[in-house]
Amino acid sequence: MLRFIFRILFVVLGLGIFGYFGFDAVAPLWYRVTGTVVEGRVIGFLAGKHSPSVQPEPTGVRKGRRLARRPVFRHPVALGAKDSLDTRSRTGGFLLFGHYDLHQSVTVVMPKGQPERAQILGFRLMFMGVIASLFGLFIAWMGWSGKG
C-alpha cells in the first residue's frame, strides 16, 4: 500500500513540475502569436528567487557555487506607450555562459491588456523550461511505471 501511495505522489509531483515549467516554455510562444510584442531592456538581476533586491551582476555565488540570476526587465505597457513597467522573470537560467547582460535589449511578449504578465521571448529561458518539464515527465513516468 505504501508503494502505491509513493507511486501516486511521484505521478502528481511529476505532472505538477511539468505543468509549472511547461508553462514557462510555451507561454512566450503563445503570447507571441496572440498577444503584444514590444522591445524591453534588462535593468538588473534578482539577488534570490524571492528577494526584492535587484543586482547589476548576472551571476551570484550561493553556497560556494556561481549561479545565473533571473533577469529583471523594463518594457512599455503597450505597443507605442510611454509608460513602462519593471517585470521580474519567472524563469531562471542555469547556464552561465548564455545569460543576459545588463542593459541588453530583449523581445518582450505579453497577453493583450495584461502587461504585468510579460515574459522575455528568448531561447535561453524557454530552454530551461523545456529541460525542467522533461524532468517532470521523467518523474511522472517513474511513478506510473514503478521503475527507477
pLDDT in tens, 25-52: 899 999 999 999 999 999 988 877 677 7
Integer Rg of the chain from CA: 18
Task: Look at residue 33 in the predicted model and tell me its pLDDT.
Answer: 94
Contact status, residue 56 vs residue 72, Cβ threshold 8 Å:
no
Residue 100 and residue 106: Cα distance in Å, rounded?
9
Average pLDDT estimate for 84-98? 70
> Residue 96 pLDDT more than 70?
no
pTM confidence score: 0.78
Task: Look at residue 126 in the predicted model and tell me its pLDDT.
Answer: 84
